[in-house]
Amino acid sequence: MYATLKSLLLGAVLAAALVSTSAALVVTPGNVPQDDSALVRNPCDLSLVGSPVGISVLGCLLDFLAQTISISSDESLEITGGQAILVSTDDLFSRLTMSATAPASLSTVILNIDAMEDGFVNFADASGTSSLFALAGNGSNFFTLTGVTGNVLTAVSYINGVETDNFAHVTDIRAGVAGAIPEPGTYSLIVAGIAAFGLISRRRKAKK
């Protein structure tokens, strides 16, 4: 029986590995809620006031403050507000790159791009680059990205085929992560579960 269970588990692991390696980035216009997504906010340390400014800034997940998300660009950025409004200190920027701090990796991302003019955006991860998606100037442009491969996601804005500073703000950022380290409370639950399983096993052996 144990050999059968071991074979089944090994098969499931191999199947999951094949799925993850063959997964490709899927970009869907609109806000499509994901179960594993959480609002990115800043500051992560609630005792702090304001947000650091720089080429790379950190936010964290609302339901998991220990997990940080790095967002960077070729221009100075700032995250403001509890709703994680990403802005450039010189008003506009053309690209942003998101990554989850190790050992976690991104799995889903939802964001809302406020563009200054009508244009386009594409997204790229380790699996390749998406096609161009339309951006409406001075409007909400929600995108849901699933099947993110690797730990880096990049968004780039274009007007007339040329990379251009067209991102005014990026808001409502949500990020789903895989492989995050459980918080202490989660470890307690895991330990309690293992202990309970051991107690049940001992009782069964005692009855034989």
Comparing 23-27, 64-68, 118-122, 181-185, the range with the smallest average pLDDT is 181-185
Q: Which domain holds residue 148?
A: 23-207
8 A C-beta contact, residue 109 and residue 147: no
The per-residue pLDDT for 139 is 85
Residue 81's CB is within 10 A of a number of other CB atoms, namely 12
pLDDT band at 208 (very low <50, low <70, confident <90, very high): low
- Distance in angstroms (rounded) separating the CA atoms of residues 1 and 9: 12
8 A C-beta contact, residue 93 and residue 168: no
pLDDT tens, residue by residue, 89-113:
989 999 999 999 888 999 999 999 9
> Is it the case that residue 72 has pLDDT exceeding 70?
yes
> Is it the case that residue 19 has pLDDT exceeding 50?
no
> Is it the case that residue 205 has pLDDT exceeding 80?
no
The per-residue pLDDT for 82 is 65
Q: Tell me if 17 is assigned to some domain.
A: no
Q: Tell me if 16 is assigned to some domain.
A: no
Q: Tell me if 15 is assigned to some domain.
A: no
Q: Tell me if 12 is assigned to some domain.
A: no
Q: Tell me if 3 is assigned to some domain.
A: no
The per-residue pLDDT for 52 is 76
Q: Tell me if 100 is assigned to some domain.
A: yes
Q: Are strands 95-100 and 153-159 parallel, antiparallel or unpaired?
A: antiparallel
pLDDT band at 200 (very low <50, low <70, confident <90, very high): low
The per-residue pLDDT for 79 is 86
What value does the mean pLDDT take over residues 114-135? 96
The residue that leads in pLDDT, 194 or 16, is 194
- For position 148, which CATH number holds? 2.60.120
Q: Tell me if 37 is assigned to some domain.
A: yes
What value does the mean pLDDT take over residues 168-197? 65
Q: Tell me if 7 is assigned to some domain.
A: no
DSSP class per residue in the chain: -HHHHHHHHHHHHHHHHHHHHH---EEEES----TTEEEEES-SSTT--S--EEEEEEEEETTEEEEEEEEEEEEEEEEETTTTEEEETTS-BSEEEEEEPTT-EEEEEEEEEEESSSEEEEEEETTEE---EEE-BTS--EEEEES--SS-EEEEEEETTEE---EEEEEEEEEEEESPPPPHHHHHHHHHHHHHHHHHHHHHHHH-
pLDDT band at 37 (very low <50, low <70, confident <90, very high): confident
pLDDT band at 44 (very low <50, low <70, confident <90, very high): confident
The per-residue pLDDT for 117 is 96
Total domains present in the chain = 1
The per-residue pLDDT for 20 is 37
